[in-house]
Structure 1
């Protein structure tokens, strides 16, 4: 027959109090049930009388004694019932049966969507992810505009709700400069981004146990499936790049020459991203090679410095010795006056402003060389990838140059620029 009694634990908890609960013994094997009640000292419990000795030392002492006595009686009744029915052979089964009978019914989850979303935005801001913070804040505001509910819970975000949200997004028009002219509808890519931030917030809530997986509206059959559409990636061809190198910009403000130089530097260093280019330092160049850490994923690497790149960089030698203005030993002048490069949010803000100016300059330069192509700073990466595909550079080599973690990423990226085999197939079927 199992024996059950009220006991105090021999070791104090982190607050210096001693847990008090129940010890169940059967055939010399004990187990314990503690429900969060404690005493300031083990000596305050009278094991023989099963009550608290000094009621002044324990708040609500009489109530706690009554509670423990009642629970002790219930435990003993449960043990007798189980053993009479011969369904129990171990003390843990008594403990489990007792706890199951007294398990509180969980209250429904009422965490609000905007509470989790606000925390996400604050984290993005704190981490300096300015672009993600601003773009996702705008997408969430549009989601709230549709929901028309400040206290939207996660169970409210159903499959039907999101399908109606998709229709809403397809009817939204971008706001142009002239508010009298209807703007263009949102692109499929933009609509997908709006759905992705909702999914991100929902996943965070599930991880934090603030939402149930059972209510999750994304995924398989009958739910909302999110697939990013392939975006068009068109780079400059060899002739356009040569024209870009040779066009005379001497009569234009310095930013035009800087825009051209920064674009070409990105192109010559395997499609370097513009943020990394603006952060280039003189110390990054050693023994004819460029060594730098990619800001997007932290990957390190090095590439050979082409002669054309050296001639571009030499144009900025005058900044190398100006320690007062160029506090950070940068090559290009657009971030030199920042107090620190460690404030990621302010850094990204300045980069975004600078890129906007550079892209406007590049648009005019492209008009000067007779091209209608978009030559934004990121197109330098596309141009390199397009040229590498034509030259049939091995994907493994490109993976290292791009700093991709997976070769599959490189192959998928390069496939966008692979046209020769398709063109050959068309010629074979239709003719030139």
Structure 2
């Protein structure tokens, strides 16, 4: 079996720097594939096959080395699976040279997912992994380098995704934004050249258009109907209603945050918590309605560090994967019960856990100043709040229509 290592070659250039190369050895014969980078030997760790941290660009160079080694190893495994051990080092070199001529987008994406996993951002992996899979489907098992990601390639990808027929415009835009994000990072790490960047607003580039989605929230009258339903003999539905209202009463708090609220987060009639999405810390008043829900779960000493709602109890909070899976399963369960609740309340709108956020926005309308809504929504940018709230502000448009047609 062939082996792959990264070394400094012995022949230096005129500046006294030595080339970093990937060495492939099989049957005691070696071939070298150059990375195009040179290094002073004092910065090279031969044991770890890495650039020492004392080098000013060590992170970028080590990223490049990791990607090159991963690409080479991938080709090596594919060749072995196809031809067994019956291939020469020269044949392998031919395939590696072709592959390594451009940085692999797929290998870079896997490195991105690895970093997300280390940061315990599993929900992002969960949402972005399908995007990568759609790009792989388009490539039909072929490799993809960054220099292949051109405007014609992206247009072809868009056409393919539309032809599949199962994806909406927003899902297609998400695929393009995923590519754009990784391409920008690769530019920052100097792995690809910015002059070949295919995205932008100028003519001939790909401009990603994010379609507006229809956001429909409940009215205050509809929410009152849900509040007043007698669900005493339907414990699962009552629990789903409580969790939904808990979210609504706190400006549409995300379900991932709702389920992580602990008794220890309540102090002197206020709730203090840190958002999962952006780690922002916020304090909100516990209203009488909210307190009524909390009291229904007071089966533990309020001073404990246990969760208020039962879905995540007993799970190690450091086990990010299990926390994510349990939250997703709980959301599916809640949405199932909410569907039954809407029927009982005589509401025709579709209700999910996320509609609690839309409902708060719908009732807030233009009654609350955008700066306060930005705080309640925990948005980093006021523009995000204004764009979101525009979905629920209809008064001026309605009055304008009435002014014309009511004659």
State the TM-score, normalized to the length of structure 1. 0.69
2:278 to 279, 284, 297: 297
After superposition, the C-alpha distances for 1:130-179 in whole angstroms (9 at most, x for unaligned) are 33213322221111111225322111121111111111111113xxxxxx
8 Å CA contact 2:342, 2:348 repeated in 1: yes
Q: Does 1:157 pair with 2:134?
A: no
2:133 to 114, 127, 141: 141
After superposition, the C-alpha distances for 1:217-272 in whole angstroms (9 at most, x for unaligned) are 111321111121111111110111001101111232x2211110011111111221
Query: How much has 1:342 moved relative to structure 2?
Result: 2.1
Q: What residue is the counterpart of 2:172 in the other structure?
A: 191
Q: What residue is the counterpart of 2:386 in the other structure?
A: 411
2:216 to 234, 245, 262: 234
Say what the alpha-carbon RMSD is for the aligned residues. 2.4
Query: How much has 1:377 moved relative to structure 2?
Result: 0.9
8 Å CA contact 1:129, 1:345 repeated in 2: no
Q: What residue is the counterpart of 1:427 in the other structure?
A: 402
Runs of 5+ consecutive residues of structure 2 not aligned to the other structure: 1-11, 20-99
- Distance of aligned partners of 1:21 and 1:274 in 2 relative to their CA distance in 1, 3 Å threshold: closer
Q: How many corresponding residue pairs?
A: 316
1:116 to 98, 108, 120: 108
Runs of 5+ consecutive residues of structure 1 not aligned to the other structure: 1-19, 23-32, 38-107, 174-184
Q: What residue is the counterpart of 1:389 in the other structure?
A: 365
- Distance of aligned partners of 1:136 and 1:211 in 2 relative to their CA distance in 1, 3 Å threshold: same
8 Å CA contact 2:263, 2:303 repeated in 1: no
Q: What residue is the counterpart of 2:288 in the other structure?
A: 307
Q: Does 1:129 pair with 2:129?
A: no
Query: How much has 1:341 moved relative to structure 2?
Result: 1.0
Q: What residue is the counterpart of 1:362 in the other structure?
A: 338
Q: What residue is the counterpart of 2:63 in the other structure?
A: none
Q: What residue is the counterpart of 2:199 in the other structure?
A: 218
- The correspondence of residues 197-276 of structure 1 with structure 2, limited to 5 A, is 197-219=178-200, 220-252=202-234, 254-276=235-257
Q: Distance in 2 between matches of 1:322 and 1:397?
A: 31
Query: How much has 1:124 moved relative to structure 2?
Result: 2.3
Q: Distance in 2 between matches of 1:317 and 1:359?
A: 24
State the TM-score, normalized to the length of structure 2. 0.73
Q: Distance in 1 between matches of 2:142 and 2:226?
A: 52
After superposition, the C-alpha distances for 1:366-409 in whole angstroms (9 at most, x for unaligned) are 1111112122111111111111115x111122122222222222
